[in-house]
Copies of this chain bind each other. A is one copy, B any other.
Amino acid sequence: MLKRLSKDIKKLNTKKKTTIKDIANVLNISAAAVSKALHDDSRISKKTKKAVKQVAKNLNYQPNHLASALRKGKSNLVGVIVPRTNSNFFSSVIQNIEEVLNKEGYNIIITQSNESFKKECDSIDTLLFTQVDGIIASMANETIDLEYYEKVKAKGIPLILFDRGENDLNVDYIGINDYDSSHIIVKHLVNQGCKRIAHIGGYKRTRIFNNRIRGYIDALKKHNLPLDKELLIESSLTIEDGRNKMAQLLKLQNRPDAVYIASDYAALGALQLLNEQNIKVPEEIALVGFGDEPFTAMVTPSLSSINQHSAEIGKQAALTFLSYTKKKSIKQTLNKIILDAELVVRESSNSIQ
């Protein structure tokens, strides 16, 4: 009796969130009925449903997501791990993932690894701790050890990789055809009359960059151009490093007449150096970047680049995750979606204007 009283007092003091129980009390029905009514269960009469929804609105009822998640064993949360968010590619991918998943009642948790392996492992732990229903990730440059991702797989949580991540994990992957992209670029440059085409590529250990390098090498061969090792450089692909590696190329006795750079950011650094040194682009040296970041259209001269279809990658990644939620058994299979990339030709590689 006393207990009940203190409880009632408590109810008066604290603006408690309304629960289905509160609704049930008002209508003198069971909480179960309320739950069912809110979910349009066929076993509840239209009249009751209407009443329940009305009261829910009046009391400003907000379902307790934690409770239903606990009961149902799923959180409706999807974790997204990206190397960084401040590139247009990743933020666009994220935006599209969010758009698709929100419609299906999922929310996303974004974490950035900042290209750090350790931070990436922490992110995975964090996401698992938060009981996400799935993880969509693009790996950090540093990541070679896949143990943490195996952990996710072992838990039976759907894992989808995009862009960075094609590897031996045997999980779904969405990305563009990096090997072909290199072919398209080299062919374009050859058509422009270039004969000494350099490549400032990413780290070979990262599969996508390795594919671009392989594509570059094979494309040279295809066009009967010799492979000059001085013209093939590994880079971290930041703006600064693009600048540095371009400086390295300029020091060569026999300079390249074109440079294909595996990232727009590095290409921007390279372009700035060329501009400063009054080296004419594309006349003296043609330039092609990768990623089609918005600024490529805005710099002078504008940068040719590869459109990675970030929106489509995001959508496909989300849809791939959703396909698992509809299956009964979660058996991860290697399911690669490889999109064709598209070369956007701009001033930096277009001499026939």
Interface residues of A (CB under 8 A from B): 15, 17, 62-67, 69-70, 75, 77, 84-88, 90-92, 94-95, 98, 102, 107-112, 114, 122, 126, 128-131, 155-156, 239-240, 243, 268-269, 272, 275-276, 294-295, 298-300
Contacts and interface: CB of A to CB of B under 8 A. Distances in A.
A112 B131 contact: no
A91 B86 contact: yes
23 contacts: A17-B155, A62-B128, A65-B129, A65-B130, A65-B131, A66-B66, A66-B69, A66-B131, A67-B70, A77-B130, A85-B85, A86-B86, A86-B88, A91-B112, A94-B112, A102-B122, A102-B126, A107-B129, A108-B109, A109-B109, A268-B295, A272-B300, A295-B295
Contacts of A295: 239, 268, 295
B63 A129 contact: yes
Residue of A66, A92, A295 with most partner-chain B CB within 10 A: A66
Contacts of A69: 66
Number of this chain's copies in the assembly equals 2
Nearest to A66: B70
A288 B91 CA distance: 27
B131 A239 contact: no
A236 B295 CA distance: 17
Contacts of A102: 122, 126
Contacts of A17: 155
Given A130-B77, A298-B269, A111 B98 contact: yes
A95 B109 contact: no
A275 B300 contact: yes
A155 B61 CA distance: 12
A112 B95 contact: yes
Contacts of A294: 239
Nearest to A126: B107
A22 to B, nearest CB: 16
Given A85-B94, A243-B298, 18 more contacts: A66-B66, A70-B70, A85-B85, A85-B90, A85-B91, A86-B87, A86-B90, A94-B112, A107-B109, A107-B126, A107-B130, A109-B109, A109-B110, A239-B294, A239-B298, A268-B298, A272-B298, A272-B300
B62 A66 contact: no
A171 B15 CA distance: 20
B70 A95 contact: no
Contacts of A298: 239-240, 243, 268-269, 272
Nearest to A154: B15
Residue of A94, A110, A240 with most partner-chain B CB within 10 A: A110
Residue of A69, A75, A294 with most partner-chain B CB within 10 A: A69
A149 to B, nearest CB: 16
Contacts of A108: 109
A70 B85 CA distance: 31
Nearest to A156: B15
